Amino acid sequence: MHNRAEYRPLEGFVLAITPFNFTAIGGNLPTSAAMCGNVVIWKPAHTQIYSAQLFMRILKESGLPDGVINLIYVDGPVVGDVCFSHRDFAGVHFTGSTGVFNHMWETIGKNIPKYRTYPRIVGETGGKDFVIAHKSANADVVATALLRGAFEFQGQKCSAASRAYIPSNLWKEVKQKLAEGINSFKMGTVEDFSNFINAVIDEKSFDKIKAYIDKAKKDPKASIVAGGVCDKKQGYFIQPTVIETKDPKYVTMCEEIFGPVLTVYVYPANQFEKTLELVDSTSPYALTGSIIATDRAAIELATKRLSNAAGNFYINDKPTGAVVGQQPFGGARASGTNDKAGSILNLYRWLSVRTIKETYNPPVDYRYPFMAEE
């Protein structure tokens, strides 16, 4: 006999829904499914329209046939009503908020009887990404990881460091370095590459982030230790902000803000293991996280205890900046389906396997040899 398998595209179309904050993801979500032979409908975020249309122009100039990837500009509810009700809907490739993804999953589930096949649901959603420093950590390493990890791209990354657990023996030095770093940040428009901080994406985002900062300024459970200035007179600029809280379950330790806001909880230096449990249980998300330490035993302990707390885990580095081909990206729990965009694991999601068995010497009698009488 000859046994073989063939990899087919899905029977139907794939819907790709892309976010504003990573142009590369905007290109990856529709093209990964198309590379596997699927027809794709691509709906970008309304704040990503310019880069999406430019990417489509590049694809067409490179030889992409018409009708393979179909870029559309409509509101989310409109594309949902049409695509999620269509008999030929075969899958969705999504990056965006957890709330939207949950609603999409619920809608798809209710519409199962309408579909020709069970749709593939692939999503990378929110994060409340952590950095935990051990008492053996170098303060400069901790501060740098936080300054970069929390504030690059104005914290508008699902992977951005937004909660930090700092041991009491390091906090005074780390706190000073964070304040010095924030005060040295140059802020301005993207045309000047020397600006480390730019504006957040739009006014809606500005108002949401500012509301968290304003609440922290008035809350006795929190204090602003650096930054905190918000100004939209000439663009939606928010100064990177560090909040210190004595409540490890404070709102900014738990909720995704998607802006340049880092909340720090200072833990007793001798309670590292207890704090690992806190890190694992505080947030519903499990996207990225990092451990910073020079003690190898502490690194091994954190890596093991936090095995389900982050799909991308970093040791002595910031929890952002995954490189395709080096650190396949994605998380679980409320952070998505962990299908690792940019990897072969993700590509397999857009394929349907058919197994073929060909028999060269087929049987001519229904009886099996073991059935014969002795």
Measure the CA–CA gap between 349 and 159, rounded to whole angstroms: 23
The closest alpha carbon to 210, from 220, 199, 221, belongs to 199
Average pLDDT by stretches of 10, the chain with 374 residues: 97 97 88 97 95 96 97 94 97 95 97 98 96 98 98 96 98 98 96 96 97 97 96 95 97 97 98 98 97 98 98 98 89 96 92 98 93 82
Domain locations along the chain:
2-125+336-357, 129-315
Q: Is position 124 annotated as part of the catalytic site?
A: yes
In 21-88, the DSSP E strands lie at 39-44, 69-71
CATH fold label, 2-125+336-357: Aldehyde Dehydrogenase; Chain A, domain 1 (3.40.605)
Radius of gyration (C-alpha) of the chain in whole angstroms: 25
Phi, psi (deg, nearest 5) at residue 128: -135, 75
Per-residue confidence (pLDDT) for residue 342, from 0 to 100: 81
Per-residue confidence (pLDDT) for residue 140, from 0 to 100: 98
With helix as H, strand as E and coil as C, how does 217-244 read?
HHCCCEEEEECCCEECECECEECCEEEE
Q: Give the active site residue among 124, 152, 244, 256.
A: 124
Per-residue confidence (pLDDT) for residue 23, from 0 to 100: 82
Q: Which residue matches tokens 């008999």?
A: 87
Per-residue confidence (pLDDT) for residue 373, from 0 to 100: 81
Q: Give the active site residue among 36, 83, 158, 230.
A: 158
Q: Is position 152 annotated as part of the catalytic site?
A: no
Measure the CA–CA gap between 229 and 238, rounded to whole angstroms: 6
Here the tokens at position 21 are 């904050």
Here the tokens at position 161 are 């460091």
Here the tokens at position 187 are 């802020």
Per-residue confidence (pLDDT) for residue 323, from 0 to 100: 87
Per-residue confidence (pLDDT) for residue 369, from 0 to 100: 87
Calculate the dihedral angle through the C-alpha atoms of 292, 294, 295, 298, rounding to the nearest 10 degrees: 10
Q: Is 190 exposed, middle or buried (0-12, 13-18, 19+ CB in 10 A)?
A: exposed
Per-residue confidence (pLDDT) for residue 372, from 0 to 100: 87
User: Any bridge partners for residue 235, and if so which?
Assistant: 233
Considering the domain 129-315, what is its CATH architecture?
Answer: 3-Layer(aba) Sandwich (3.40)
